A and B are shown apart, each in its own frame.
Chain A
Amino acid sequence: MESYLLTYLLFTPIVGSVLLLFFPKSQEKAIRWFGLAVTLAAFVISLVIYFKFDSSLSTFQFTHQIQWVKSLHISYSVGIDGISLLLILLTTFITPLTLISSWSAIKKNVKLFTFFMVFLEAAMIGVFVSLDLFLFYVFWEAMLIPMYFIIGIWGGERRIYASVKFFIFTMAGSLLMLVAIIWLAVYASNQIGYFTTNLLELYRVGPNVPHEIQRYMFLAFFISFAIKVPIFPLHTWLPDAHVQAPTAGSVILAGVLLKMGTYGILRFCLPLFPQSAVYYAPYISVLAVIGIIYGALVAMVQKDMKKLVAYSSVSHLGFVVLGIFALTPESVQGAVIQMVNHGLSTGALFLLVGVIYERTHTREIAYYGGIAKLVPVYATILMIVSLSSIGLPGLNGFIGEFLILIGSFQSQVLGSWWFVIFGATGVIFAAVYLLWMYERVVWGRVTNPKLETLKDMNTRELVVLIPILIFIVWIGVYPSTFLNVSHAATQGILHTVSSFTFNFL
């Protein structure tokens, strides 16, 4: 039973999305509820997995392996550790909420939309559970198609440009990764006697690849993930995709899709190519810090709320990358928890922007002003989420950023305080751009008469946002619940890296 749990989790949305195709197009209500039921079922299964998960182990659990393509030794091989578990929970938690949030926003072709959302969930789960590089690659690419359609069909004015750019950017990176995967598998066939893409076997092969070649391999994987994260200067697709995507698309994009990049770095780049990871860590950290500051500065001058949140993602994910490549226990733990935090906070910010956009059909900051009196509940929730994104102690953002900065401070791999000193300015800038936006939108007097009729949040919207708020406070007040889950796994990765390089722990 236990070994099948991940398969159930993965196939629930796959089967659900196929069943959705048999619904008549006009039955929009039934389609919406069915889509919600499928994603909630996936959430329940992931909770079962959470309670059965033994967080004291750093090895993969619930593993399950079936031969898939015999001629190339590709297997359907799944399993999770603490890092994947947190991200799976985030995925299954966010997806039903976004589905509910889209009930009023998506009026066109509901069937196709729900199908793509549920299928997207399956692909995202697939990415987090795969223990075979090939299987991982299949899900990594499969995820592109639904997102491409979601942006392209239900997006804003420049949706075609944004969706094609999104697709080509990601594809360009991942094809490079494909060549590296094949190269690694061919190398493995010379070392251990057979062609394999099994991750656990490649963990033993990767670190022994001659270092000059290993660096190319590392870069091939890393660029693919860096595009997804996105790390400066590969971020240009992100603002376009975010701004053009419908709210549900933006939430999934920010909440889960970007994490796939940082997850990939943790799962593949570090343990497969530890020497190269240490070699490149300072350079990548420089890019991360540039990303933190650049994203924040650009966010500051945005006139469009959604664009502001999009650029803030570049800044926040810079922290995650810095934490990963500082390679200390605290910073990597901080990076993992920050991945979850960013998913919750930024997801919530996009939802909130979506809520008000549905009412006024504009995201121009200048259009608003003084809405605190008109929509007090909305203003309060926006305040809490903004503060969480800024990193106020007591809310989730603080924990992640604090751990990352503390860890990077002690990092021997980085070997300099300057990373932290510059990185920390990102926290200050975050306060500037978010509070400034908040001030312009919420406070002051109502200057725009069109706003007088603005309605506050309805029950459905509260149902979507309150669960997120609960976790924002929970992680902020008692982070151990979540840190414990990933602790053993991050230590395991760091142990692998240090055992192949030098003892810096």
Chain B
Amino acid sequence: MENSIFLQLLPHIILGTAIVLAVVIEISTEKSKQILPWLAVLVFFANAIIALYRIPESVTVYGMLSVGGKAAIFDFIFNFGALIGILSSVNYIKKYGAYFGEFYIIVLTSVLGMMLLAGSLDLFTVFLGLELMSISFYILAGINRKKLSSNEASLKYFLLGAFATGFVVYGIALIYGSMGNTNLKFMFNHFPNLISHPLFVIGMGLFLIGFSFKIAAFPFHMWVPDVYQGSATTVTGIMSTIGKAAAFSVLIITLTAVTTGSAPHTFEDYFIAISLLSMLYGSIVAIAQKNLKRMLAYSSIVHAGYMSIGLAAGNAASIGGIIFYLAAYTFMNLGAFGVISIIEGENDDRVNLDSYAGLNKKSPVLAGFMALFMFALAGIPPLAGFFGKYYVFVGAIEQNLVWLAIIGITASVISIYFYLRVVVYMYFKDELEDFTIEKNIPGLTAVAISALAVLVFGIVPDLLMSVIISALK
């Protein structure tokens, strides 16, 4: 018995041990900065592989945490995404002025938080995971304390994030008050009775609002542009992809009650509203952005909107679609931020569109990758981003939400303009700024892995989708 629980929690234990080990290494040797990234890469790689093996079977540990199954798919996304993020960061953080070993330790703790979130079966686990992830992110956002923009990002993120966490805690308190329990399974089983309880509904509402903040959906998006722009580029990459995926994993778990219970579509209107507003607001405002990081921040709001279509539809096709979409989004967005981090200069410069003018002449390889990610984000088939959208739209149309899908494509058409503009600058314009791009082998590897994933999951989506479907059953 003891032994089997140890095995079931192996990924968490590996990660926890690695964190302790990393702290020891950081204290004991000057060379920690060279050792820690590879320790992190190793741990994330091992955990990603373990996650793949655990997808077929889902096990519950002490009624608090589920491992394997759906949680394992998320674990795979988190660990693989973090691996790419670390590779991008190895050279980047030197340039950014945050050449600390702590950087890697905090990334490790944030991933541990995400894994708790994706596996949570109890509101306490949700809260624990949320705090572990969020606090790690607040620190990562301000990792260079000498930089004003970094400080601003961290403080904004912290203040608004703490506010959102307050919503979640208050929501949890009310839910506990109404059902006398914090167990999510209990909640699923008694959902039809609970939903008539006003305290429960208010509690759920607060809980969903808190997580809407974390997925960066309109109107809870105010922090997104500043934080994404101010943080270190690779940190933004990690936050915007696997951080978003972690928040979505909780929404999917809590809404399982909605999909499997006898009271479906209780919160349909709420999700319709946030998806509609996020898609339109994000895509329109993104057009005005000159700063690439800021543009991708608004694009992140748009994508949160697309994924929320899936939450509104709430059927098996759309939930599978969201998970696929999250994986696809992780790869294409991490890839895009990876390219930005390679090109970025030392003082937050070279992140504007003008710096990308004529990039095809400076570096055809980087331009080619960036174009691929932009087309994938715009949803051009057969790239991974397209299939994410396709699956979600299928779910929406099955649920008779055709009009929401049409709003979705309207946002897509608007989005094409700003994604294509990056391509226009890279290929159709002459160079405006003169600089050389430093060699960055780990960064380029990260970008290449992302590009490969975007292509493979686009051409053979079944590789991922069949796994997701089997895990959802």
- Which A residues lie at the B interface, using CB under 8 A? 68-72, 137-138, 141-142, 144-145, 148-149, 152-153, 159-160, 163-164, 167-168, 171-172, 175-176, 178-179, 182-183, 185-186, 189, 195
Note all chain A residues with C-beta closer than 8 A to B391. 72
| Closest B residue to A177 using CB positions | B409
- Would A145 and B466 count as touching, CB distance under 8 A? no
Dominant SS at the A interface?
A: helix
> Does A182 contact B417, Cβ atoms closer than 8 Å?
no
Interface bits B371-394 vs A (CB < 8 Å: 1, else 0)? 000010000111000010011011
Which one of B20-28, B144-152, B268-276, B420-428 contacts A? B420-428
Nearest CB to that of B469 among chain A residues? Answer: A71
Pairwise interchain contact B427-A153, C-beta atoms closer than 8 A: yes
Q: Is there contact, CB below 8 Å, between A178 and B428?
A: no
Q: Apart from A69-B387, A152-B428, what are 20 other A-B pairs with CB-CB below 8 Å?
A: A69-B462, A70-B466, A71-B320, A71-B461, A71-B466, A138-B382, A141-B380, A152-B423, A152-B424, A159-B428, A163-B428, A167-B420, A171-B412, A171-B416, A178-B390, A179-B393, A179-B397, A179-B409, A182-B390, A185-B394
Q: Determine whether B432 belongs to the interface, using a CB cutoff of 8 Å to chain A.
A: no
Query: Residues of A contacting B427 with CB < 8 Å?
Result: 149, 152-153
Asked if B413 is at the interface (CB within 8 A of a chain A CB), the reply is yes
User: Which residues of B have CB within 8 Å of A138?
Assistant: 381-382
A71-B469, A160-B428 in contact; A178/B420 too (CB < 8 A)? Answer: no
CA distance A140 to B215 in the complex (A): 33
- What chain A residues lie within 8 Å of B390 (beta carbons)? 72, 178, 182
A186 touches B382 (CB 8 A): no
Smallest CB–CB gap between B391 and chain A, Å? Answer: 8
Residues of A with C-beta under 8 A to B462: 68-71
Residue B346 interfacial (CB < 8 Å): no
Q: How far is the CB of B219 from chain A (nearest CB, A)?
A: 26
Shortest CB–CB separation between residue A128 and chain B, in angstroms? 17
From 428 to 443 in chain B, residues with beta carbon under 8 angstroms from any chain A beta carbon are 428-429
Name B353-381 residues within 8 Å CB distance of A. Answer: 375, 380-381
Give the Cβ gap from A204 to chain B, nearest Cβ, in Å: 20
Residue of chain A at shortest CB distance from B425: A160
> What are 20 of the A-B contact pairs (CB < 8 Å)?
A72-B390, A72-B394, A141-B381, A142-B380, A145-B380, A159-B428, A160-B428, A164-B424, A168-B417, A171-B412, A171-B413, A171-B416, A176-B406, A178-B393, A179-B397, A179-B405, A179-B409, A182-B397, A186-B398, A189-B398
Q: Which residues of B contact A142 (CB under 8 A)?
A: 380-382
Interfacial chain A residues near B320, Cβ < 8 Å: 71
The smallest C-beta distance from B410 to any residue of chain A, in angstroms, reads 8
B402 interfacial by beta-carbon distance below 8 Å? yes
Q: Which residues of B contact A153 (CB under 8 A)?
A: 427-428
Question: Shortest distance in angstroms between A105's beta carbon and chain B's nearest beta carbon?
Answer: 18
8 Å CB contact of A69 from B398, B409, B420, B465: B465
- Decide if B381 touches A182 in the complex (CB within 8 Å): no
How near does chain B come to A115, taking the closest CB pair, in angstroms?
11
**Beta-carbon nearest neighbor of A220 in chain B:** B406
A-side contacts of B382, CB under 8 Å: 138, 142
B452-473 interface code vs A (CB 8 A; 1 in, 0 out):
0000000001100110010000
Is B416 in contact with A168, judged by CB distance below 8 angstroms?
yes
- C-alpha gap A152/B427 in the complex (Å): 8
Specify which of B380, B402, B417, B461 is in contact with A183 (CB 8 Å cutoff). Answer: B402
- Chain A residues with Cβ below 8 Å from B402 are 179, 183
A183 touches B465 (CB 8 A): no
Which residue of B is nearest A172, CB measured? B413
